[in-house]
Structure 1
């Protein structure tokens, strides 16, 4: 990574830089979990059904997934400060749009804009931090502090969402971003220094557009299929379009000199298996998390605030365990830890599928904790495995792809598990039965991934003398080389 020189007198204070980048990523991660707590209130006040709630979540995740890699390239090419502050501005303005949305349609528009802002903010945040710390040891310490603080957003989301929604209604969960965004813009404009990488690759516009259209068409069919009918021309057409667009995406990426997704990387078994497993992690984790608050509110009769607190064991387990996963993997290998983590998460989800309306919370919290611990043990090693499968110069790209595949899995998880719930209800089953079926399906898919990794994930160990794994912009990801920072999330 090549940073443009900055005059000594104007060089930003590293403490200010760390604060600004931490707070920006904290805001993005908070938004990932705070929305789930407010879904029941959104459903009530906006008079929407499950399909509308799915779009509220997936509209955001879809844009983040598809623009994440391009956001990192934009930051390196056009200036990390410029892209970071642009992302903050878009995310903040979109949060205002969300809070003022009079209908589900407007809220979805706001969520799309939030996704665009987050896809610029997140990779630029890490790139700024990495450029300001050229010494590897200093960089690792800064990224460790940054990841630990920003990761608190994941744990704070359910509680903050429950408190704000209970007191002021769902718009408050988006208004909380406004003061954070304004402070970031004022401080960032004054104190951040600009840097860029003149040798950054060109933007893969055709690949980016086609990737959005592929996943968008597939997601539309999965979410709307239950409402419109799986055999309706519109739904069949969306699935057909997804297949055609996917073929076009593969053809375009195979011919480009600098594709956003180099297909040759998938010739490495370690890279391929780790990314398949990461899709499953996103699918099961995000797909099941979408229903947690709804289960506690609609099935067990909890208040929105209490439901937010009840989901806390999962996010707390992930925040506490995640920092240690990379170290454990470095000692025992990727295969053992990933397979164990997926198996634990899968069993936890299966256990959640047996929870009923009269099940006491004392017999529920440990199931959520098991899911959180299992996925926490899995995320970092999977990203590290993907990075180790490629050359050091492609470490940042591999980390970004790993985060992107997890986000794609999240989009599909919300869509597919939602379709399962709707199908069960359409057949006359209760919401409780539908949610149990969704949790069981997520658990089965996760256990299948555990078998896959146990059989096919190579026994790869970080090379002796290499840097210890460190956290990337994604709190569930690690990087193992100095180059794997600028475009990762």
Structure 2
């Protein structure tokens, strides 16, 4: 029988372990709440687009900017915010982000016109850029065991499913009972509770050696993303041969060339291009772009179709999206467990098949008479399985491919790829829709083109998975290594 001192020691160890579990659980809950308000905001906004269009007499192009103003600003600021958190403290930046996002949500609800709404959405993105990547860094530094981290990321991905499930229903109900402005009120109580929990339970942490800021690189990335999106969105309105489109293409090419020339010559670049020499890391970024482009376009076109063409209310449209949300909610944690035990290839393969089948099913059944209800519901189910399955392996690959002291940058890279994909999807598919009048006959052609685009993106994910993704995750004894220190190309090697 163990002695009394031994019993005391064992009891203290168990109490300490239980307290550590509770602490980790509260940290995970707080971080997931930040993801909830960001994801919920995007889901709810899609359901409210027809109401915004009616109140402001907005064009399809204006609706595209209501979404892409957020995603583009978010994509540009995610990495600087991650580096800012690594340098000045992750909890501090996380709390500032919660304040900005909550205040900007109130401004969105008070917007007197479409331009004001777009500006408030951009301010939301400033706060949002300080939430998800920083929260991922906090999770990574809290859950250090690979399997434990995989489960935590699975729960994190499940929050997207919760937001997708609650967003269309709650948002549709608020639009029906009040107005589209009420959808932004949801962020206020959640943001305040998350702020309180972050203050109480999240410990402050910083990187051992924070990255330097790179304003030139950041400006080049902003010009690249912004010009590409602007050219795609405004192209149908001005024409492909217009100065607007040609000028946007020229700015994009020059910005990309500037990035490729300037960034390798910095000691600590804004985007370390050498990380993309790793096939798994590059594959994860490309898959994130393809998956989120599919999501952004799929939600955009089907929201307009259900309400503007089929004549459903916002609440009825939300009910149609419920199967997709439930599948995302169910399969996100399943995918996290698969990644933790077997690596990312299997869930990515499942996701690619689901995206491809969704596009094929809906493309082949679309007609001027409309999409059959059974096909529409089947498409939502398949897409939900695919999107729920794809998130965990993307995030895990991005975080595992970066050194732990730069976890903020790792989370930012994963989130940046998602936002870039969403912006591109809304820009491309929204431009296809913008060329069609919102009548059953003309809209059917745009729909069919949209679904073929989603099919192509699903096949692209399958190809990328097959060629870049390892069959199993790296073993815990072989953690990913940080890249070797950069030797700027403009410096001459020193003589011995």
- Judged with a 3 Å threshold, the aligned counterparts in structure 2 of structure 1 residues 418 and 150 are, in CA distance, closer, same or farther, namely closer
Is 1:220 aligned with 2:241? no
Deviations 1:327-382, CA, capped at 9 Å, x for gaps: 43566654454234212212212222334555443332121111121233333234
SS at match of 1:364: helix
Deviations 1:203-254, CA, capped at 9 Å, x for gaps: 2222222211210011111101111222111221111111111111222211
TM-score by length of 1: 0.84
Match in the other structure for 2:274: 264
The structure having more radius of gyration, on CA atoms, is: 2
Match in the other structure for 1:8: none
**1:199: how far off?**
1.6
**1:306: how far off?**
0.5
Q: 2:447 is matched with which residue: 435, 444, 456? A: 435
> Over aligned residue pairs, what C-alpha RMSD do you find?
3.1
Checking the alignment, whether the CA contact within 8 Å between 1:317 and 1:372 is kept in structure 2 is yes
CA distance in 2, matches of 1:142, 1:339: 22
CA distance in 2, matches of 1:150, 1:378: 12
Match in the other structure for 2:488: none
CA distance in 1, matches of 2:104, 2:431: 28
After the TM superposition, which residues 41-56 of structure 1 pair with which residues of structure 2 at under 5 Å, given as runs? 41-56=51-66
CA distance in 2, matches of 1:264, 1:309: 45
- Judged with a 3 Å threshold, the aligned counterparts in structure 2 of structure 1 residues 252 and 144 are, in CA distance, closer, same or farther, namely same
Checking the alignment, whether the CA contact within 8 Å between 2:133 and 2:411 is kept in structure 1 is no
Is 1:350 aligned with 2:350? no
**1:432: how far off?**
2.9
SS at match of 1:176: helix
CA distance in 2, matches of 1:203, 1:299: 48
After the TM superposition, which residues 330-345 of structure 1 pair with which residues of structure 2 at under 5 Å, given as runs? 334-345=344-355
- Judged with a 3 Å threshold, the aligned counterparts in structure 2 of structure 1 residues 458 and 19 are, in CA distance, closer, same or farther, namely closer
CA distance in 1, matches of 2:451, 2:43: 18
**1:439: how far off?**
1.9
Checking the alignment, whether the CA contact within 8 Å between 2:297 and 2:425 is kept in structure 1 is yes
- Judged with a 3 Å threshold, the aligned counterparts in structure 2 of structure 1 residues 271 and 196 are, in CA distance, closer, same or farther, namely closer
State the number of aligned residues: 459
Q: 2:107 is matched with which residue: 94, 97, 108? A: 97
SS at match of 1:195: coil
Of 57-66 and 334-343, deviating more is 334-343
Q: 1:462 is matched with which residue: 440, 464, 473? A: 473
CA distance in 1, matches of 2:144, 2:289: 33
- Judged with a 3 Å threshold, the aligned counterparts in structure 2 of structure 1 residues 207 and 230 are, in CA distance, closer, same or farther, namely same
CA distance in 1, matches of 2:481, 2:322: 34
Match in the other structure for 2:328: 318
Checking the alignment, whether the CA contact within 8 Å between 2:362 and 2:448 is kept in structure 1 is yes
Of 32-41 and 339-348, deviating more is 339-348
Is 1:368 aligned with 2:380? yes
Match in the other structure for 2:422: 410
**1:302: how far off?**
1.1
Is 1:108 aligned with 2:102? no
Match in the other structure for 2:35: 25
Is 1:178 aligned with 2:178? no
CA distance in 2, matches of 1:428, 1:420: 15
**1:164: how far off?**
1.0
- Judged with a 3 Å threshold, the aligned counterparts in structure 2 of structure 1 residues 277 and 126 are, in CA distance, closer, same or farther, namely closer
CA distance in 2, matches of 1:70, 1:22: 21
Q: 2:251 is matched with which residue: 230, 241, 255? A: 241
TM-score by length of 2: 0.83
Of 185-194 and 129-138, deviating more is 129-138
After the TM superposition, which residues 52-451 of structure 1 pair with which residues of structure 2 at under 5 Å, given as runs? 52-131=62-141, 148-149=158-159, 151-186=161-196, 188-189=198-199, 192-329=202-339, 334-353=344-363, 354-356=365-367, 357-386=369-398, 397-425=409-437, 430-451=442-463
CA distance in 1, matches of 2:88, 2:380: 42
CA distance in 2, matches of 1:415, 1:335: 29
Match in the other structure for 2:9: none
- Judged with a 3 Å threshold, the aligned counterparts in structure 2 of structure 1 residues 327 and 426 are, in CA distance, closer, same or farther, namely closer
**1:298: how far off?**
1.8
Of 177-186 and 258-267, deviating more is 177-186
Q: 1:39 is matched with which residue: 26, 41, 49? A: 49
Of 55-64 and 334-343, deviating more is 334-343
